[in-house]
Amino acid sequence: MVTSGFAIAASTTLFLITHQDHGRPFWYPNVAALTRPGTHAEVVANLSASRRAALKEAVIRAGSPYPPRQLRLVGLKEEKALEVWLPSGGRWSRLRSYAVLAASGGPGPKLREGDFQVPEGIYRLTAFNPNSSYHLSIRVDYPNAEDRRVAALDGRTRLGGDIFIHGKAVSIGCLAIGDAAIEELYLLLADTGLRNADIVLTPSLRPVTPTGAPAWLGGRYERIRQALRALEGDPEAPNRDQGLEQGRR
């Protein structure tokens, strides 16, 4: 699995490379002299030339100036979709719905390292990786303060981490949305600023707490439901900033 943009050499020399998203080593044929990593600024410049005009047009058509002042991503496990929402007047408007091409695990939150679950909750986006083994990637801040708090109550340790939205179509606890989609999302978030964005990760549009779930999961799912209702224009739902703050506690 070779990072996009790397030249493939005729040599069959094998180099051991550390997986940049999950810390797992793997092998691929290449020549070191031809694999200079790109910087975040270089990636954004390249994407701007090919993608910004169409992206700006779509955002303005959705009722927002470019770049948007805020973004909220919604990762839907059951629906296998990653939605992008932005404020439009006094409401929220859905800009994009990307197909999730791969996401391991099933319904339910991530509890420990190696369970291959996609987390569930309201999270910040914290970093760009322009040299991801899966083309490009954006880091999710699992485990956050709430995850660590409930883990301590449960007596759980080794919560895992390194959760990303990335390209390609393979995943170990991450959301893979393909190369074209991650390029557009990477540029949109770079222009908007990660501090102005968050992501709701949910088992479905209407999450229901299953029998036997941890005691704290019902409260988390209620905050997720409130955040989703706010996007849909429910006047009784907390606004975006309130929902985010509750999710961080």
What does the domain layout of the chain look like in residue ranges?
A: 40-248
- Model confidence at 52, pLDDT cuts 50, 70, 90, reads very high
How far are the Cα atoms of 32, 36, 196, 213 from residue 239, in angstroms, in the given order?
A: 50, 44, 14, 27
Q: Which helix (H) or strand (E) holds 202?
A: strand 197-202
pLDDT of residue 29: 33
- Model confidence at 141, pLDDT cuts 50, 70, 90, reads very high
Mean pLDDT of the residues in the chain: 84
Full DSSP string of 90-113? TEEEEEEEEE--B--S-SS---ST
pLDDT tens for each residue of 201-249? 999 999 999 999 999 999 999 999 999 999 998 644 444 443 333 333 3
Tokens of 43: 């990636």
Does the pLDDT value for residue 8 go beyond 60? no
Lowest mean pLDDT among 26-35, 91-100, 225-234: 26-35
pLDDT of residue 37: 60
Give Rg (Cα) of the chain. 19
Return the percentage of the chain with pLDDT > 90, whole number.
74
pLDDT of residue 11: 33
pLDDT of residue 28: 33
Lowest mean pLDDT among 25-39, 56-70, 194-208, 227-241: 25-39
pLDDT of residue 38: 86
pLDDT of residue 117: 94
pLDDT of residue 234: 60
How far are the Cα atoms of 35, 152, 208, 214, 218 from residue 211, in angstroms, in the given order?
A: 50, 22, 9, 9, 10
pLDDT of residue 249: 35
pLDDT of residue 12: 30
Which of helix, strand or coil describes residue 164?
strand
**Which of 226, 238, 169, 170 lies closest to 200 in space, CA to CA?**
226
Mean pLDDT for the stretch of residues 99-104: 94
For residues 162 and 21, is the Cβ–Cβ distance under 8 A? yes
- Model confidence at 36, pLDDT cuts 50, 70, 90, reads low
DSSP H helices, the chain, are 40-61, 145-154, 179-192, 217-231, 240-248
Tokens of 211: 């029998």
Mean pLDDT for the stretch of residues 84-93: 95
Query: What is the pTM for the complete model shown?
Result: 0.81
**Which of 135, 205, 211, 206 lies closest to 176 in space, CA to CA?**
135
- CATH homologous superfamily of 40-248 equals L,D-transpeptidase catalytic domain-like (2.40.440.10)
